[in-house]
Amino acid sequence: MLKVVADIRVAAIEEAESDALFEEWLATVGDGVAGYVTPKAAVGAVVYDDQQRILLIQRSDSGVWLYPTGWADVGYSPSEIAVREVLEETGIEAARGRLEAWNVANTFEIYAQWRHRFAPGVTHNTEHVFGLALPWRVPVAIAPAEHVAFAWLPWREAAQRCFSWSNRDSIRMLAEPGC
């Protein structure tokens, strides 16, 4: 992303070398994910159909099963992020259903093996959870660079398959109010 911005700036003002500008900016990023200097907050959406079957996707890098989730970008609302992540990760347009603000924010400790993705010293993350109620099970087109499989599962089975306690608890909320 920084490389693209550097190229655009060079094209616009023709004052700098794109590679030099990119390297200068990259040096200011720090030890987090290269080029990602925004605060890290997650937004997820429990996608479900009229039979309360939950859509889970399996990550290609870790093999874990989860519902569509992504990083919140500065300048976008949590609901906009939820809509974008569902589309990017499953090919499902949120307009096919009803996006629900569950007003749930799960804060959890980041596992040591994934802390390199965050700014130095960050040990916890917060995930804001939405629901996407679909009138029926719709076709899914997973993002092959991020995911290797998907499954529509009854809510209990979906909750059991999830690696993350926050995913399990959010799925349980769908069928067990007050959980």
Domain definitions of the chain by residue range: 1-28, 42-175
pLDDT computed for residue 148 by the predictor: 97
Per-residue pLDDT reduced to its tens digit, 62-114: 899 999 999 888 888 999 999 999 999 999 999 999 999 999 999 988 888 87
Q: Span 14-34, mean pLDDT? A: 57
What is the spatial distance between Cα 63 and Cα 120, in angstroms, rounded to a whole number?
26
pLDDT at 1: 46
Instruction: Using alpha carbons, list the distances in angstroms from residue 162 to 78, 171, 172.
Output: 22, 9, 11
The per-residue b/e assignment along 44-81, b for 16 or more CB within 10 angstroms, e otherwise, is: bbbbbbeeebbbbbbbeeeeebbbbbbbbeeeeebbeb
CA nearest neighbour of 50 among 130, 110, 132: 132
Instruction: Quickly state the pLDDT bin for 117 (edges 50, 70, 90).
Output: confident
Q: Which pLDDT score, from 0 to 100, does residue 54 have?
A: 97
CATH number of 42-175: 3.90.79.10
Structure token digits, residue 117: 């993705």
The whole-model pTM stands at 0.76
pLDDT digits (tens, 9 = 90+) for 32-69: 455 444 567 899 999 999 999 999 999 998 899 999 99
Q: Mean pLDDT over residues 5-13, rounded?
A: 48
Higher-confidence position of 177 and 172: 172
